[in-house]
Amino acid sequence: MAIRQIRTIGDEILRKECKPVKEMTPRLKELVEDMFETMYETGGVGLAAPQVGILKQIVVIDVEDGNQYVLVNPEITETEGEQTGPEGCLSVPGKSGTVTRPEKVTVKAFNEDMEPIELTGEGFLARAICHECDHLHGCLYVDKVEGELEDVGEAEEEE
C-alpha cells in the first residue's frame, strides 16, 4: 500500500468525467487500498479516484460508523429531504463552505469484488456519498457552495 498524491483544485483531472470500471483488476484493488491509506493519512472521510489522478469511478468512504465503504460505478438512485452544513475537501485544502445536500440517499454500486450492492445513507454518510459521487463527474463542492468559501484550521478539515 502507498500514500498517493492528492490532486488539488486547479488540476484539470478534477474536472473530468470518470470512466466506469469494467472489471476489478489486481491493480485497481491496490488502488482501493491506497485510497483508504491516503484518506486516513490526510484525515479525510472520503476519497474519489480522480483525487489521486485516476479517472475511474471508484470512491472510498469511512465516516467512522464502523464501516469502510467502497463504491465502484456508483449511481445515486434516490434522494430524500435536505440538509445544509459545512463541507470541506482534501482537494481544496484549508477551505470550507456551506452546501445543501439530501438528508438521505440510496446508491447502487459494486463493491471491491464487483458484487452489486445498494447502500442507503443518512446525515453525514449521505453528504459524503453525494460529495464523492460528484467528484466522478468533475464536480467539486465549491461549485455548490452557498455564500463564500471560508478559511479553516487544519484540524477542522474534512471531506
- Please count the other Cβ atoms lying within 10 Å of the Cβ belonging to residue 133: 21
Which one is catalytic: 132, 157, 158, 159?
132
**Which structural domain range is residue 127 located in?**
12-156
- 132 tagged catalytic: yes
142 assigned to some structural domain: yes
20 assigned to some structural domain: yes
7 assigned to some structural domain: no
Q: CA 133, 137, 142, 144 torsion: positive or negative? A: negative
2 assigned to some structural domain: no
CATH of the domain at 97: 3.90.45.10
Give the whole-angstrom CA distance, residue 29 versus residue 26: 5
Burial of 86 (0-12, 13-18, 19+ CB in 10 A): middle
Structure confidence by residue, pLDDT tens digits, 7-40: 999 999 999 999 999 999 999 999 999 999 999 9
122 assigned to some structural domain: yes
Structure confidence by residue, pLDDT tens digits, 33-75: 999 999 999 999 999 999 999 999 999 999 999 999 999 999 9
Note the Cα 136 to chain centre separation in Å. Answer: 8
